[in-house]
Amino acid sequence: MKCPGQDSRYWKTDAIYEVNCPRCGRAVEFFKDDTTRKCNTCGHRFINPKMDFGCAAYCRFAEQCIGSLPPEQLERRKDLLKDRVAFEVKKRLKKDFRRIGRTARVAHFAEHLAAREGADKAVALCAAYLHDIGTTPGADGDEPTVVPAGAAGPALAEEILHQLGAEPDLAAAVRRLIAGLDGASKRKDIAFNVVYDARQLADLEADLKAGIRRHTRLENRIERLLTAAGRDAARQMVHANADR
């Protein structure tokens, strides 16, 4: 069955309309399911300004349904996927507020570091939200444990991403990243370095708030971070805590 919104049998008289070319101002005819059109006067190709891409932002069949998505919409699709992953993780963790809180902080730091380091935000943020999804909750008061390589966590993360309609390459990249998080060696994969550091920053923040300062070890913890942005963030965190 074809999506009714894109099936011409359901179209009304306003399904075909004209839009002025943003470059030359001449009228360009659009059908409501056109993602882009090329101006016959100046040759400029531009996005259909009246098209509602809502479901295309997350539907796995979007490209087959309405054709190739414009770059701007592909980025929005990744942003919405990140939000859906966050919701799915919270739903699965239920009332495990300790892990929900830590996961949120890891994702917060990952977003900041990814922007600074130029990492793939979709991979980094999905991995940040899903990195702890395969662990078994411990006794009350226990700290969250790291997902060990080869355990159920990476496979479960990939399965969740597939269910949410993520591209196979993205889901596989997230699985590989999570599977390697118990190693501390710097990699060419910037997203891996970002998520590794984001976890360390979340733990450092928790220790500082709890009064576990360990002055003699703070610099060692900072130097073990894999990104320059991570080390900067850690030093700022320590400095801010020292002023309190």
Domains of the chain, by residue range, sit at 15-66, 75-242
**Confidence at 141, pLDDT banded by 50, 70, 90:** very low
Angle at 124 between CA 228 and CA 197, to 5 degrees: 35
* pLDDT value of position 194: 96
**Confidence at 178, pLDDT banded by 50, 70, 90:** very high
| Residue with the larger pLDDT of the pair 116 and 135 | 116
The pTM assigned to this predicted structure is 0.66
Those residues with Cβ within 8 angstroms of residue 186's Cβ, 6 or more apart along the chain or in another chain: 193, 226
pLDDT in tens, 210-219: 876 555 578 8
CA 121 from centroid of its chain's CA atoms: 5
* pLDDT value of position 60: 54
With 80 as the cut, is the pLDDT of residue 67 above it? no
With 50 as the cut, is the pLDDT of residue 143 above it? no
**Confidence at 233, pLDDT banded by 50, 70, 90:** very high
Tokens of 38: 């090329």
Cβ(69)–Cβ(57) under 8 Å? no
Q: Which CATH superfamily is domain 75-242 in?
A: Hypothetical protein af1432 (1.10.3210.10)
* pLDDT value of position 212: 67
Tokens of 39: 């101006």
Angle at 228 between CA 226 and CA 231, to 5 degrees: 80
* pLDDT value of position 172: 94
* pLDDT value of position 140: 44
* pLDDT value of position 115: 93
With 80 as the cut, is the pLDDT of residue 139 above it? no
By DSSP bridging, strand 27-31 and strand 16-20 are antiparallel
Nearest to residue 170, comparing CAs of 66, 68, 77?
Answer: 77
Helices (H), the chain: 62-66, 71-93, 97-117, 121-130, 152-163, 168-179, 190-209, 215-223, 228-242
**Confidence at 69, pLDDT banded by 50, 70, 90:** low
With 50 as the cut, is the pLDDT of residue 44 above it? yes
Tokens of 83: 């939000």
Q: In Å, how far are 64, 129, 160, 198 from 166, measured between CA atoms?
A: 15, 14, 9, 23
* pLDDT value of position 164: 86
Mean pLDDT of 159-169: 88
With 80 as the cut, is the pLDDT of residue 57 above it? no
